[in-house]
Amino acid sequence: MRISTIGYVGKQGVKNIWRNKMFSLASVATMSACIFLFGLFFSILVNFQYIIRTAEEGVAITVFFEEDATDEQKEEIGQQLAEHEGVADVNYVSADEAWEEFQKEYFGDNPELAEGFKDDNPLASSDNYEVYMETMENDDQSLVARSRSLSETQNELVEFAQGLDGVREVNKSDVVANTLSSVNTLVAIVSIAIIVILFGVSIFLISNTVTMGITVRKEEIAIMKYIGAKDFVVRSPFVIEGLIIGIFGAAIPLTLLYFLYDRAVQYIMTKFSILQNIIDFLPVGTVYQILLPVGLIMGIGIGFLGSFFTVRKHLKV
Amino acid sequence: MIELRKVTKEYSKGNAALNGISVKIERGEFVFIVGDSGSGKSTLIKLIMKELNPTEGTIIVNGQNLNRMKHRNIAKYRRGIGVVFQDFRLLKDRNIYENIAFALRVTETPTRIIKKKVPAALSLVGLAQKYKSFPKELSGGEQQRVAIARALVNEPAILLADEPTGNLDPTNSWEIMSILKEANERGTTVLVVTHNQEIVNEMNERVITMKQGVIVSDEQKGGYINED
């Protein structure tokens, strides 16, 4: 393949777009809308995950000891818990600390009520381990798998802790873990469904544009075939046309979203200032580390596949 | 150069456009193919172009058996054949130079050779001065001359002309025929499908007459057989 031929087919691809201005524009616009929506869902999803992850870090199980458990036993239990898969941190809470925490939580407003206990700690045998689970931040698992595994890991850990010598009781926060997991799963499934539909719509539109281009250039294609142009030379301009539409269809929404993201975050934080202490959004740079390559690959991929298969179907050379 | 052995082409079962024809055309010949509409002339051209495959029989062109030709080799094969149509089939959005260069570009000819060959082809058909004109700015005769230049620019061994004078007045028709004859004299084998009795009778070349898918007459230095 000569460089001049590559240049020629490239130029023809650009000319195709110009000849089919309206259709090309419609394709770019629709693809832009699709990738914009994808970007939007993606941004929501990763932020949601980020929020969940932050919340997950607070999800813990509490391990209480038998009354006659020795310090050695307690230490052994702590070591075994720390070594268990999925455990991020094991924190020993002494009976005094537990009592202090209790007082703060329940007698915070009326400290005089706690004074009745004086130096007699009613939670004397309530020293425990708070066990925090890993958030799987660096895990390669899919979104759905990740959200499911949270409650599974917790259950497994509870069973493990209950089986240890010297353990009296294990408390877990089922509600928090399960609610987070199910919301996360729902968001993931809805997002994937919407993305699949958008993919389909984009491919259909690119295919239509290329079909229109082939129809308009039927005469030229026939002449090319008579003259002895190779399949590659006949087909390439249409595939290039699809690729260019794909590149623009991805670049426009990704640029738009980049600038809108910060503004949207600012707007939400100003409008709903109550969220400031609860929610922390990811910076746009972090979101774009994944969104940019994925969005570009999607655009180019849809452009290529849409045109390639249409050309194969409609262009018998 | 071109040989058809007992070639039959059926578009649908029992409906033969060509019915067991055999014919041999030697290198450097000038041949008219005449006959009424539906006699199978265009089908014959399409078979030689490998646009269609025969239902039965064998076609050999330039020593290649077309029945056995693989799809990937068709483009290369067609580069050895120039085609001219009744309706010129020029690209309306490109000027004359670009129309001829098109034939070279799509066959992957280097640009420096295109720059040499296009003016030479235009000179051959007497349109060197009009290289910037667009097809709609030219007369029918001039457009057909551009089409011939495009067909010849790749220096094919065979030139197929399907009713090249069908849309032209007598003066332009004769101009076109003289260009085709010149190409033939330079060594190109020329096949002309035509209804033009005057030209066929005047030129005194080989004439193959077809009727309802069969060859009814094949004469060296023949004339137009009028069935009416």
The pLDDT tens digits of the residues spanning B62-98 come to 899 999 999 889 999 999 999 999 899 999 888 999 9
- Specify the pLDDT at position A120: 66
Whether A20 is covered by a domain: the verdict is yes
Q: Which residues pair with B82 in a beta bridge?
A: B159
Which among A139, A172, A205 is the end of a domain?
A: A172
Is the model's pLDDT at A278 over the cut of 70?
Answer: no
Is the model's pLDDT at A311 over the cut of 90?
Answer: no
Residues on chain B touching A218 (C-beta within 8 angstroms): none
Contact (CB<8Å) B106/A1: no
Contact (CB<8Å) A219/B83: no
Q: Which of A8, A222, A227 has the CB atom closest to B78's CB atom?
A: A227
- Answer yes or no: do A145 and A201 share one domain: no
Q: Note whether B40 and B212 are within 8 A (CB).
A: yes
- Answer yes or no: do A117 and A212 share one domain: no
Is the model's pLDDT at B54 over the cut of 80?
Answer: yes
- Answer yes or no: do A158 and A199 share one domain: no
Q: Average pLDDT, stretch B52-57?
A: 94
- In angstroms, what separates the C-alpha of A314 from chain B's closest C-alpha? 17
Q: Average pLDDT, stretch A229-256?
A: 91
- Answer yes or no: do A12 and A94 share one domain: no
- Report the C-alpha gap between B144 and B41 in whole angstroms: 20
Chain center to CA of A139: 12
Return mean pLDDT, chain A: 79
| More confidently predicted of A193 and A314 | A193
- Specify the pLDDT at position A106: 66
Residues on chain A touching B91 (C-beta within 8 angstroms): 219-220, 223
- Answer yes or no: do A76 and A134 share one domain: yes
Contact (CB<8Å) B154/A228: yes
Structural domains in chain A (count): 2
Question: Which residue in chain A is spatially nearest to B108 when comparing CA positions?
Answer: A5
Domain boundaries, chain B: 2-219
Residues on chain A touching B72 (C-beta within 8 angstroms): 231
Q: Which residues of B124-141 are buried (b: 16+ CB within 10 A; e: fewer)?
A: bbebeebbebbbeebebb
- Report the C-alpha gap between A131 and A147 in whole angstroms: 19
A87 pLDDT band (50/70/90 cuts)?
confident
| More confidently predicted of A197 and B188 | B188
Whether A205 is covered by a domain: the verdict is yes
Contact (CB<8Å) B75/A2: no
Domain of residue A254, residue span: 3-53+184-314
ipTM: 0.84
Residues on chain B touching A20 (C-beta within 8 angstroms): none
- Answer yes or no: do A165 and A192 share one domain: no
CATH number where A164 lies: 3.30.70.3040
- In angstroms, what separates the C-alpha of A29 from chain B's closest C-alpha? 27
A265 pLDDT band (50/70/90 cuts)?
confident
Residues on chain A touching B75 (C-beta within 8 angstroms): 228-231
Q: Which of A9, A82, A41, A13 is nearest to B108 (CA)?
A: A9
- In angstroms, what separates the C-alpha of B202 from chain A's closest C-alpha? 30
- Answer yes or no: do A93 and A168 share one domain: yes
Return mean pLDDT, chain B: 92
- Specify the pLDDT at position A110: 67
Contact (CB<8Å) A227/B108: no
B106 pLDDT band (50/70/90 cuts)?
confident
Cβ-proximal residues to A281 (8 Å cutoff; 6+ apart), any chain: A47, A50, A265, A268, A269
Contact (CB<8Å) A2/B49: no
| pLDDT tens string A160-189 | 888 888 888 888 765 565 666 677 778 778
Question: Which residue in chain A is spatially nearest to B91 when comparing CA positions?
Answer: A220
Is the model's pLDDT at B168 over the cut of 50?
Answer: yes
- Specify the pLDDT at position A209: 77
Coil, strand or helix at A170 = strand
Q: Which residues pair with B32 in a beta bridge?
A: B192, B207
Whether A179 is covered by a domain: the verdict is no
Is the model's pLDDT at A142 over the cut of 60?
Answer: no
A143 pLDDT band (50/70/90 cuts)?
very low
Is the model's pLDDT at B25 over the cut of 90?
Answer: yes
Q: Average pLDDT, stretch B1-28?
A: 92
Is the model's pLDDT at A297 over the cut of 80?
Answer: yes
- Answer yes or no: do A36 and A140 share one domain: no
| pLDDT tens string A8-56 | 888 888 888 887 788 888 889 888 988 898 888 888 888 877 877 676 6
Q: What percent of chain A has pLDDT over 70?
A: 80
Q: Which of A219, A222, A233 has the CB atom closest to B106's CB atom?
A: A233
Contact (CB<8Å) B77/A228: yes
Which among A114, A146, A172 is the end of a domain?
A: A172
Q: Average pLDDT, stretch B108-114?
A: 90
Q: Average pLDDT, stretch A246-265?
A: 93
Q: Which has the minimum average pLDDT: A58-72, A134-148, A175-189?
A: A134-148
- Answer yes or no: do A66 and A49 share one domain: no
- Specify the pLDDT at position A140: 46
Whether A177 is covered by a domain: the verdict is no
Q: Note whether A147 and A181 are within 8 A (CB).
A: yes
Q: Average pLDDT, stretch B136-150?
A: 95
B185 pLDDT band (50/70/90 cuts)?
very high
Contact (CB<8Å) B79/A219: no
Question: Which residue in chain B is spatially nearest to A233 when comparing CA positions?
Answer: B106
* Range B2-219: architecture per CATH: 3-Layer(aba) Sandwich (3.40)
- Specify the pLDDT at position A59: 61
- Answer yes or no: do A245 and A146 share one domain: no
Q: Note whether A128 and A93 are within 8 A (CB).
A: yes
Phi and psi of B47, rounded to 5°? Answer: -70, -40
Contact (CB<8Å) A223/B89: yes
Is the model's pLDDT at B228 over the cut of 60?
Answer: no
- In angstroms, what separates the C-alpha of A219 from chain B's closest C-alpha? 8
Q: Does B48 touch chain A (CB under 8 A)?
A: no
- Specify the pLDDT at position A139: 47
- Answer yes or no: do A251 and A138 share one domain: no
Which among A147, A172, A197 is the end of a domain?
A: A172
Mutual angle of helices A71-83 and A143-162, in 10-degree steps? 160
Amino acid in the structure at residue B163: E
Is the model's pLDDT at A138 over the cut of 70?
Answer: no
| More confidently predicted of A111 and A25 | A25
- Answer yes or no: do A49 and A83 share one domain: no
